[in-house]
């Protein structure tokens, strides 16, 4: 039987200090010791069950990490203050000065900017490739390559990475396959498909309430311990620690992720089919004409669907902006970046979340001006939403 991530989360049981149905929140940055020797041992990481200082670890962060490791089928996980706070230490832990990495060219703009503009300061080079072309990925590998990085479903173009094939390539050349699974929680379990490290921005679907930023790194216990090492661990030393109150609230929201993902996917599939019927240029991995549809289907845990993200191309930035403003006015969603909220969110990535990518490179990768990225919400009657969206499109002259 295929790995079932939400069953694994459900099987974990935690109680609060006084028998509460939710674990107690550790509202402390530092912890006392009865013996100085135990304090020393804890600092060295040799006193199981003891806490020293909340940047190192806290009970709340460990509970959330454990649940996310169960979800991603990895031995361990560590939570971080944001998605970027997860991506950056992983790369810095895996690559030394002089090393090289390969990344999909269609990734979140912040990740792209980190690789393109920041890593060269540390003499770490990145080759950006079309991740759907395996021969291009293989050709970019050099003796200095350490990492292949991709998003399972890419932001914003929704390209699908063939994770089993990339994992095979990574194994062949002894590289680490690092996968950002932010757009496809539950639907895809990268570790089960051969990935070494799985990352999420918890800010998105996993938390689902657009009230906090957060991130997680899921991997082997050995790697997670390396990240947390007091002497040379990138998570420990760069310090992007999640606050315990936030971990506690994200853990509560994680309990409903399977229901939410199911609904996000169902609503997105409905709209994608309807948009396509209207003749709009629609991209959604659930559509049979999506180039990555087959591979997504082979990789997916069926019951959670193809996810909540879709794009349409309305031809020009002006039309995209007018449509988004009108849809917001009609209360069909918010003109906002980010994703995974109960309400539909839409933005034009070329001028927002991918604006770090230079215009000529945007054009080369097919990121056109008129592209609108939708994170489809949990609307109870998506047919009613569709009719209203259609009216907006007619009013703007797109239909």
| Alpha-carbon gap, residue 181 to 25, rounded angstroms | 27
Q: Under rule CB under 6 A, which residues in 9-68 are in contact with ligand PLP?
A: none
Handedness of CA 279, 284, 286, 290 (dihedral sign): positive
- C-alpha gyration radius of the chain: 21
**Of 316, 312, 333, 326, nearest to 376 (Cα)?**
333
Size of the site for ligand PLP (CB under 6 A): 16
Minimal distance, residue 284 CB to ligand PLP, in Å: 17
CB of 312 to ligand PLP, least distance (A): 18
Residue from 56, 63, 100, 108 binding ligand PLP (CB under 6 A): 108
182 lines the binding site for ligand PLP (CB under 6 A): yes
Q: Please identify, among the stretches 34-42, 104-112, 372-380, 387-395, the one whose residues bind ligand PLP according to the rule CB under 6 A.
A: 104-112
**Any contact of residue 210 with ligand PLP (CB under 6 A)?**
no
Kindly state whether residue 184 participates in binding ligand PLP, applying the rule CB under 6 A. no
Residues 6+ apart with CB under 8 A from 121: none
**Interaction pattern, residues 133-152, with ligand PLP; x per rule: CB under 6 A:** ------------------x-
Considering beta carbons, is residue 198 or 201 the nearer one to ligand PLP? 201
Residue 215 engages ligand PLP in binding (rule: CB under 6 A): yes
Structure tokens at 344: 């539909």
Is residue 347 within 8 A of residue 336, CB to CB? The reply is yes
Euclidean distance between CA atoms 179 and 167, whole angstroms: 10
Task: Tell me which residue has its CB nearest to ligand PLP.
Answer: 83
Helix (H) or strand (E) holding 40: helix 36-43
**Nearer of residues 23 and 83 to ligand PLP, judged by Cβ:** 83
Residue from the set 5, 65, 89, 110 that interacts with ligand PLP by CB under 6 A: 110
Percent of the chain that is helix, strand, coil (3-state, to 5): 40, 15, 45
Tell me, rounded to whole angstroms, the distance of Cα 332 from its chain centroid. 25
Q: Which one, 23 or 340, has the nearer CB to ligand PLP?
A: 340
Please choose, out of 22-30, 176-184, 243-251, 366-374, the segment that lies near ligand PLP by the rule CB under 6 A.
Answer: 176-184
Give me the residue label for tokens 């659930």: 286
Select the residue interacting with ligand PLP from 203, 265, 267, 282 (CB under 6 A). 203
CA distance 296 to 355: 27
Task: Determine, following the binding rule CB under 6 A, whether residue 201 of this chain makes contact with ligand PLP.
Answer: yes
Least distance (Å) from ligand PLP to the CB of residue 6? 21
Q: Which is nearer to ligand PLP, 137 or 213 (CB)?
A: 213
Spatial neighbors of 98 by CB under 8 A, at least 6 apart, are 123, 124, 144
Q: Choose one: 105-113, 237-245, 300-308, 313-321; the region binding ligand PLP (CB under 6 A).
A: 105-113
Q: Which stretch binds ligand PLP (CB under 6 A): 108-116, 235-243, 258-266, 316-324?
A: 108-116
Question: 36 and 222 in contact (C-beta within 8 Å)?
Answer: no
Taking a C-beta distance cutoff of 8 angstroms, is the pair 310, 283 a contact?
A: yes
| Terminal C-alpha separation, the chain | 45
Q: Summarize as ranges the residues that interact with ligand PLP (CB under 6 A).
A: 82-84, 108, 110-111, 151, 155, 180, 182-183, 201, 203, 213, 215, 353
């Amino acid at each position: 039987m295929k790995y079932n991530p939400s069953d694994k989360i459900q099987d974990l049981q935690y109680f609060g200090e006084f028998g509460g149905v939710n674990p107690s929140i550790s509202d402390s940055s530092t912890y006392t010791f009865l013996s100085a020797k135990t304090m020393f041992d804890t600092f060295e990481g040799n006193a199981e069950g003891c806490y020293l200082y909340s940047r190192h670890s806290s009970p709340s962060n460990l509970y959330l990490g454990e649940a996310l490791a169960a979800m991603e089928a990895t031995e361990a996980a560590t939570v971080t203050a944001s998605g970027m706070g997860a991506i950056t230490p992983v790369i810095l832990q895996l690559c030394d000065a002089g090393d090289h990495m390969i990344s999909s060219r269609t990734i979140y703009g912040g990740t792209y900017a980190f690789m393109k503009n920041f890593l060269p300061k540390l003499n770490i080079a990145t080759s950006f490739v079309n991740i759907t072309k395996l021969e291009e990925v293989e050709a970019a590998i050099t003796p200095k390559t350490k990492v292949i990085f991709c998003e399972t479903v890419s932001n914003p173009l929704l390209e699908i990475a063939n994770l089993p094939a990339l994992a095979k390539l990574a194994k062949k050349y002894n590289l680490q396959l690092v996968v950002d699974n932010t757009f496809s929680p539950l639907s895809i379990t990268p570790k089960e498909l051969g990935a070494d490290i799985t990352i999420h921005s918890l800010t998105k679907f996993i938390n689902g309430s657009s009230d906090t930023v957060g991130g997680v790194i899921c991997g082997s216990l050995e790697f997670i311990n390396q990240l947390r090492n007091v002497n040379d661990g990138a998570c420990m030393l760069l310090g992007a620690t999640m606050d315990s109150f936030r971990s506690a609230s994200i853990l509560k929201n994680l309990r409903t992720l399977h229901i939410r993902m199911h609904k996000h996917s169902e609503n997105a599939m409905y709209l994608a089919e309807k948009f396509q019927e209207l003749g709009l240029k629609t991209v959604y991995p659930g559509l049979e004409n999506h180039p990555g549809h087959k591979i997504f289907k082979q990789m997916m845990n069926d019951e959670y669907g193809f996810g909540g993200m879709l794009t349409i191309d309305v031809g020009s930035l002006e039309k995209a902006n007018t449509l988004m403003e009108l849809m917001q006015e009609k209360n069909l969603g918010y003109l906002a970046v980010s994703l995974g909220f109960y309400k539909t969110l839409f933005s034009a990535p070329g001028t927002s979340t991918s604006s770090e990518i230079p215009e000529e490179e945007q054009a080369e990768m097919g990121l056109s001006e008129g592209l609108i990225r939708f994170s489809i919400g949990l609307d109870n009657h998506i047919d009613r939403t569709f009719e209203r969206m259609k009216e907006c499109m007619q009013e703007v002259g797109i239909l």
